[in-house]
Structure formats: structure tokens, C-alpha cells
Amino acid sequence: MAVGGWILAALVAAGLGWMGRPVMVLLPESPDAAPLSPTPLAISRTPHLGWWLAGAAFVQVAIVAATIPAHVLPAWVLVCGVGTWLAYIDWHTHVLPTRIVAPLFAIAAVVVLLEAWMVADVRIFVRALAASALAFGSFWCFWWIADRQRPGSFGFGDVRFAAPLGLVLGSLGPWAAPVGLYLGFVVGAVLGLALKARGRQGGFAFGPAMLAGAVIGAVLS
């Protein structure tokens, strides 16, 4: 895509990322949070948080925009911008708030529908919905199995977050969703080993790995 459009898309994503801090200030504490988990208000007090989130969203969209068709980029701007909030919240609280994930999925679906309408290719929307359903169903199966083996080891928030990620991955092509979702597990495994090497025990947030895997999957697709 043109350099101007590439920069504009990254800047819009940065603006969305920056809005994460004021959203966290207003976000109520989740009933799914662990007893000693910090509140969204507490983690919003990180110095310069808005700029950190903006920078992370900018980098993600800059990478994606350089490799995918321009007509499917708007949904990625949305998911990367808001996904940056979710990754940060999940990392600190081990919760992916439904109050954010559900509207993200609904708005992203409308954006993908408009993308398909703009290029007169309904297959984009159908493929995106199918990939989203596949992602949600697959992660639900993982959650169901994990919950019976080790209750609490795999959060249901990850199942919900898989839906918008599968949606935008599916808009790129039939193989983007399987690749992007699989890479989330690869990134998660690497992250888990790195944390274990530093002496950290117990579980860790999977949301950041899911988002990183989706971005890498978009590039490889």
C-alpha cells in the first residue's frame, strides 16, 4: 500500500492504543479476577502507559500494513489497537474482560463486512466468520479439556479473544487463521520457557502470545 496510507493506519492504531489507559480507569474489577489480582485502575497508573500502548499498537499495524492488502487493513487497525489494551490487562490481571472483547468482536465483524462490501467480495466476510467460529470452537475444546485436567489452567477469556483474532485472520485467506492461532501457542511456549528460566513459577497470561501470533500469522499469510 502507499506509504501515506501505511503511516495513517499505524497512527490510527496508535491513537486507539493510547485510549487504553482511560478505558482501564473506568473498567470495573472483573468477578473472574483472582483474589490478589490488581484492579484495572491500579495497573492504569503505570507511568506513560498511554504512550507505551500507543507505541505497541503502532508497531503491530506498521508490520501488518506492510504485508496485507489495504482493503482488509481497517479491521486489523481496530483489533491491534484494542488488542494492545487486552494484552496489557491480561498480562497483569490474567483476565480478558468480556466488556472489551465482546464489543471488539461485534465492531470488527461490521468492519470486515464493510471491507467485503467495498471490494464486492462476500467471500471475505464468509471466510472471516468461518475462521472466527473455528477459532472459538477450537479454543473452547482446549479450555474444556484443560479445565478437566487442571481447573483454571486455561482461561475462558482466551476462548473469547480467539473470536476477533480468528475474524481478522480469516479475512486474509484460508490458511491465515490456522497459522496465526498456532503461532500463538508457539509464542506462548517460548514465553513460558523464558519466564521459567527467570525463576517464575505457575501460569502466565496467554492473551499477549495470542495477539503476537496473530500478527506474525498475518505477515506469513
Mean pLDDT of the region 163-190: 92
Report the b/e string of 55-77 with b at 16+ CB within 10 A: ebbbbbbbbbbeebeeebbbbbb
Residue 200 pLDDT class (50, 70, 90 cuts): low
Taking only the tens place, the pLDDT of each residue in 7-36 is 889 999 999 999 999 999 999 887 777 667
Q: Is the confidence at residue 205, as pLDDT, over 80?
A: yes
Q: What is the C-alpha separation between 112 and 106, in angstroms, rounded?
A: 10
Residue 202 pLDDT class (50, 70, 90 cuts): low
Q: How far is CA 43 from CA 55, 70, 91, 144, in A?
A: 18, 35, 10, 30
Q: Are 191 and 204 in contact (CB under 8 A)?
A: yes
pTM: 0.92
Q: Are 172 and 72 in contact (CB under 8 A)?
A: yes
